[in-house]
Amino acid sequence: MSAGAMGAGAAAPAEFESSDTALVNAWRWARDMALSYVHDGSDPVGLWYEAALPGRDAFCMRDVSHQVIGACLLGLDQHNANMLGRIAGNISESKDWCSYWEIDRLDRPAPCDYGNDKEFWYNLPANFDVMRACEAVYEWTGDRRYVEAPEFVNFYERTARDYADRWALTPDSLMGRRRFMNTPEPFDRKNGFHTCRGLPSYAENFSGITVAIDLVGALRKGYEAYARMAERRGDTAGAGFARARAARYGDLIETEWWDDANSRYNTYYTQDKEFHRGEGIPYLLLIGAIDRPGRVKASVADVMSRGWNVENLSAFPVFLYRLGYSGAARKILMELTAAERNDYPEVSYGVVEGIFCGLMGIQPSASDMSVATCYRGDGSDESTARDVPMLGGTVTVRHIGRDRTLFTNNTPRELTWRASFAGDGDRIVTAVARVKPGETAALGRPAD
């Protein structure tokens, strides 16, 4: 951890205790590794943590979007706000409504990815991924700046309308878009800042892509996030526009990209109007861009049948736990702590999120002042998430096996505790009521 990092702009991180000592060791490794990337605000860019290749001294849009919840758990809300705010604030028409793909500690576009506003590296899912991440952080923290601060609102509006139009990402134009768009003049195919200025995927190693499934998934979930943010601002027209678009991207995923003969999704569509297979499905499972149960199950089988790099694997614990594959989730979580390239920041932040949001099933919602919990570990284990930062305070969640949970609210607000349990029981007994599954009881009043 950088000198003074925890003393400047950071709250105390959550703590994790468990009868499963291997999980405790994994947590300690992830916590210490993740905090080693935190900087104390003395750099020109302000409060930040590394979210890019090690040694870059930078944060990129993709990695920030995938590390923000781990950062919330580590008490880094102000770091998130600064980093996301700088990304949002740098969107511009001169860059065809892109922001800076990667910002370094000197508060400049990282030179390895940027020459000038016409020549730079950029992956098109990023704007929508950032929008999704901003909403996720709002739900975790209740910080209204993500809803109404001018730099964020401008980013959402420009992304949902101008960026989508400029890069032919609308539902009607997406499948017919060209490989290269908005290129510098003269266009040089040997210059990566020309050919990679607008990659239609986070995958960067497959030639000829015009659309990729991770882009379509990012569009769907980005517009869903936009709709909810617009509603919070009272913009019902904007919310309706975004919700309709999100539904159309969802339809595209299920009608255009599903390969019924092989029971799997295609991932790339090329300039030759052909589908191909590659990366993308782990990202869809991470962000919840597919929701048909049979196809989700097939997609999990698909991704578990092949090997992945650590950038992809860092997302596996949280989505595998969430989808009920607890054994596989725990195995991969443990492997990540010893994996080659486990110094990639996304790995440790992914393990943190995997433990608290995956294994412990903790999910706050500022929208309705609730906290959901569900233990997905072994029935004989006892695990505690202590002093988890959220909603202006902390909560503590103690799971005793799979059938008993204790919840302590140390936030300044009354919360609804949405307690869930793995299994098929027909009753949940609480301290104040006996409720049926699917019902809720308003519990967890603020501590005195």
Q: Which pLDDT tens digits describe the chain residue by residue (448 residues)?
A: 443 344 467 889 999 999 999 999 999 999 999 999 999 999 999 999 999 999 999 999 999 999 999 999 999 999 999 999 999 999 999 999 999 999 999 999 999 999 999 999 999 999 999 999 999 999 999 999 999 999 999 999 999 999 999 999 999 999 999 999 999 999 999 999 999 999 999 999 899 999 999 999 999 999 999 999 999 999 999 999 999 999 999 999 999 999 999 999 999 999 999 999 999 999 999 999 999 999 999 999 999 999 999 999 999 999 999 999 999 999 999 999 999 999 999 999 999 999 999 999 999 999 999 999 999 998 889 999 999 999 999 999 999 999 999 999 999 999 999 999 987 665 666 665 455 555 443 333 333 2
Q: Collapsing DSSP states into helix, strand and coil, what is residue 383?
A: strand
Question: CA-CA distances (angstroms) from residue 331 to 10, 325, 348?
Answer: 31, 10, 15
Alpha-carbon span 402 to 9, nearest angstrom: 36
Q: Give the position of tokens 């990209």.
A: 257
Burial of 363 per CB tally in 10 Å (0-12, 13-18, 19+): buried
The pTM score is: 0.94
DSSP 98: B
Alpha-carbon span 230 to 76, nearest angstrom: 26
> Omega before 200 cis (within 30°)?
no
